[in-house]
Amino acid sequence: MASQFLSLRDEILLRLWYYLLPDLSAHVAIAQTCRRLRRVYADDNLWRTACFSAGYGRPLVRRAALRQSSAGTAHSIYGTSRDKPSWKSIAHMLVAHPSTCEIRSCTQANVCFAEHYQFLVAAGRSMPFPSDTDAADFIVLHPLYFYLHFTQTSSQATPTATRGIVGYLPTPSPSPSPSPPQTPPPPPAHVPDPLSILLTHLPTYPESRSAQYGPLCTHPNASCAFATFPPVERLAYGNVGTTVLTVENPEGCTILDVNRALAELIGQDDAHFGVALAHYQELAMASGVSLAELADEISRERGFLGDHEYPYIHALLAQA
**SS3 labels along 132-164:** CHHHHHCCEECHHHHHHHCCCCHHHCCCHHHCC
Q: How far is the CB of 242 from Zn ion (least distance, A)?
A: 36
Size of site (CB under 5 A) for Zn ion: 4
Query: In this chain, which stretch among 48-56, 67-75, 118-126, 217-225 interacts with Zn ion, using CB under 5 A?
Result: 217-225
Min. distance of Cβ 211 from Zn ion in angstroms? 13
Stretch that binds Zn ion, among 94-102, 240-248, 256-264, 293-301 (CB under 5 A): 94-102
Which range binds Zn ion by CB under 5 A, 24-32, 98-106, 151-159, 167-175? 98-106
User: Cα torsion at 253, 256, 261, 267 (round to 10°)?
Assistant: 160
d(CA 298, CA 84): 22
User: Considering the complex, what minimum distance in angstroms separates the CB of residue 36 from Zn ion?
Assistant: 33
DSSP assigned state of 284 = H
- Helix axes 87-96 and 44-53, enclosed angle (nearest 10): 50
Compare residues 98 and 164 and give the one whose CB is closer to Zn ion. Answer: 98
Per-residue interface string for the shown chain with Zn ion, residues 230-269, x marking contact by CB under 5 A: ----------------------------------------
Alpha-carbon separation of residue 260 from 62, 137, 222 (angstroms):
9, 26, 13
Q: Which range, of 73-81, 102-110, 164-172, 259-267, touches Zn ion by CB under 5 A?
A: 102-110
Per DSSP, the residues of 211-231 read GTTSSGGG-HHHHSBBSEES-
Q: Is 101 in the site for Zn ion (CB under 5 A)?
A: yes
Nearest distance from C-beta of residue 94 to Zn ion, angstroms = 10
92, 219, 234, 279: which one contacts Zn ion (CB under 5 A)?
219
Tell me the window of 54-62, 79-87, 96-104, 114-122 that interacts with Zn ion (CB under 5 A). 96-104
User: Shortest gap between Cβ of 101 and Zn ion (angstroms)?
Assistant: 3
Among 31, 46, 94, 106, binds Zn ion (CB under 5 A): 106
If the CB atoms of residues 30 and 106 are measured against Zn ion, the closer one turns out to be 106
**Over the range 182-216, which residues count as b (16 or more CB within 10 Å of their CB) and which as e?**
eeeeeeeeebbbbbbbbbbbbbbeeebeebbbbbb
Tell me the backbone φ, ψ of residue 307, rounded to 5 degrees.
Answer: -130, 10
Q: Considering beta carbons, is residue 4 or 100 the nearer one to Zn ion? A: 100
**Cβ–Cβ < 8 Å for 63, 118:** no
Judging by DSSP bridges, how do beta strands 173-174 and 228-229 pair with one another? unpaired
**CB of 106: closest distance to Zn ion in angstroms?**
3
Instruction: Give the separation between CA 149 and CA 171, rounded to whole angstroms.
Output: 12
Q: Where along the sequence are the contacts to Zn ion (CB under 5 A)?
A: 101, 103, 106, 219
